[in-house]
Amino acid sequence: MEQKLITTILLSTFIFSLFGCVTSPSRGVELDAREAPQDFPRVPEARDTQKSIQDTATQTAGAAVAKIQLVAHQEEVPQPHGHSELMVPPVVTPEEIPPLTLQDLEGMAMVNNPTLVQANAQFQGEQGAAYQAGLWFNPVVGYTSEQIGVNGTAGETQGGYVTQEIVTGGKLRLSRAKWAQRAQIAATIAQAQQQRVLNDVQTHFYRTLAAQRLVEIHRKFVANGEDNVQTHREMLNLGQTTASAILQAEVELRRDQLNLKDAENDLHQAWRTLVALVGCPQLASTRLEDMLAATQEPLDYELALGQLLSSSPELVAARQKIQHDQIQLERERVQPIPNVLVDARVGRNFEAGGQTTAGVNVGLPIPLFDRNRGTIQQAQADLTRSHADARRLELELQTRLAAEYRAYLSAWQRVDEYQATMLPKAEEASELLRKSYYDPKMPENRRALWVDVLAAQRLHMTLETEYVGSLKNYHEADVAIRGMLLTGGLTEPPAAVGGGHIDATPKPR
């Protein structure tokens, strides 16, 4: 009874820790901004995509909690007559807790990862700048008077004035278009950051699975080593081995035990890294759904390259930066076009008997000395650099894909060979030796030594260890290629466009 109570308490603690982690989503993850005036240019594609991903993530995270809660549901237990019915939770063993799936962890990460909040905040900031950049200058309203006290009157003129700067050359339109393009870049960066988070979660999910599997294998190694030591001791009693052989078996056992400790430490590290990426560092260690086996056909390099060059968010953002710099160049070219300054005045002329008078002044600056040539040259240089950067990124992605694909193909070939021939043959050899050592139908016909059986088992476990390592490498490379080579789920998202002299103005342009 005491053991059942302890199990129930531990399970409840696990459920509450998981529930508290995924039911408090971070604000601002949804790629959306506060409502802006109707003339503010939106980026509907990015917004709709982000909202859809966010809704799916929230549903997935909620499903993870529901899955755990199904195990810990409370049942009504009838009480003796005269007593009210009490809700008593059933006793659930740790093995009955449903394993966490990759989809569960991805949903938690989409809700809790802070870099997604940063990416969304950057997008909202660029949207705000786009709205601000297209606004007209505020008018200036004031009071005016002239020659107060002349001839004993209140003055020649007493009244008010309105001054307005009228922007020409489509400057406001181009400024807004430029910053709206930055918002589009920021949306692409946010989508790339989501992919980075998912890639990291998937990569560390498979690493943790591999670590779990290796712990199980190393426990078999320890059991094999203990059996080997015991066998050698029995053989020594029969005069079939030497003391040095026992010492060697004991050393081998000690090495197996240390390898097991290393594997357990690796598992702890992998789990702690995984839950940190998910955003739930307090999540108690639990089983993961075993998805380590490779079931897909190998990717084709040319198809992977074409997909990368056409859909990589890094390349999309680089091409959007070219469009941004093209708009920026056009904006700087119209900057020298003078804005019109209009000043309208109205008042009473008390010197002339209180008659109402009006006046209008219209002026514009002459671009005599400053024609914005230096800034235009800088904008042209930025555009040239953006074209070169997009080309540089294409070549860089190809080199990164070449290295990743090589690792991917080698790992897949090893996995396929282990699955098809090496592991089945090693297992069959071990089984044949075991049967040769002892056949229930012919117990007197013992042809193999038990040490040979143990050696065959050890060879099979060694191959299993190598197989798990190849599976881990395969999944890591597969996630990288399918995920557009994006990594850095906890790295701050880059800025849409680096700051510069054009940004250092009171009003964006």
The confidence band for 369, taking pLDDT boundaries of 50, 70 and 90, is very high
Which of 28 and 486 is assigned the larger pLDDT? 486
Give tens-digit pLDDT for 188-235. 999 999 999 999 999 999 999 999 999 999 999 999 999 999 999 999
For residue 441, what pLDDT is reported? 56
Rounded CA-CA distance 235/31 in Å is: 71
Rounded CA-CA distance 119/29 in Å is: 8
Residue 42 has pLDDT above 80, yes or no: no
CATH code for the structural domain at 2-482: 1.20.1600.10
For residue 249, what pLDDT is reported? 95
Task: Check: CB of residue 199 under 8 Å from CB of residue 176.
Answer: no
pTM of the model: 0.79
The confidence band for 92, taking pLDDT boundaries of 50, 70 and 90, is very low
Instruction: Please name every residue paired with 162 in a beta bridge, in sequence order, or none if there are none.
Output: 141, 344
For residue 355, what pLDDT is reported? 84
- Coil, helix or strand for 239? coil
The confidence band for 25, taking pLDDT boundaries of 50, 70 and 90, is very low
Task: Check: CB of residue 35 under 8 Å from CB of residue 123.
Answer: no
Give tens-digit pLDDT for 93-133. 555 568 899 999 999 999 999 999 999 999 999 999 999 99
Rounded CA-CA distance 105/123 in Å is: 25
Residue 43 has pLDDT above 70, yes or no: no
Contacts of 445 (CB under 8 A, 6+ apart): 439
In degrees, rounded to 5, the angle at the alpha carbon of residue 386 between the alpha carbons of residues 380 and 389 is: 145
For residue 145, what pLDDT is reported? 84
Q: What is the mean pLDDT of residues 407-430?
A: 95
The confidence band for 246, taking pLDDT boundaries of 50, 70 and 90, is very high
For residue 286, what pLDDT is reported? 83
Q: CA distances (Å), 282 to each of 212, 271, 343, in order?
A: 19, 11, 66
Residue 73 has pLDDT above 50, yes or no: no
Q: How many CA atoms lie within 13 A of 96 on its CB side?
A: 13
CA-wise closest residue to 179 among 131, 139, 226: 131
Burial of 140: CB neighbours in 10 Å, binned 0-12, 13-18, 19+: exposed
Q: What percentage of the chain exceeds 70 in pLDDT?
A: 76
Mean pLDDT taken over the chain: 82
Rounded CA-CA distance 440/504 in Å is: 88
CA 279 to chain CA centroid, Å, is 11
Rounded CA-CA distance 43/46 in Å is: 6
For residue 99, what pLDDT is reported? 86
Overall size of the chain counted in residues: 509
Residue 450 has pLDDT above 80, yes or no: yes
Residue 5 has pLDDT above 50, yes or no: no
Give tens-digit pLDDT for 8-21. 444 444 444 444 46
- Coil, helix or strand for 79? coil
Residue recorded with tokens 């040769």: 436
Q: CA distances (Å), 465 to each of 202, 263, 461, in order?
A: 21, 11, 6
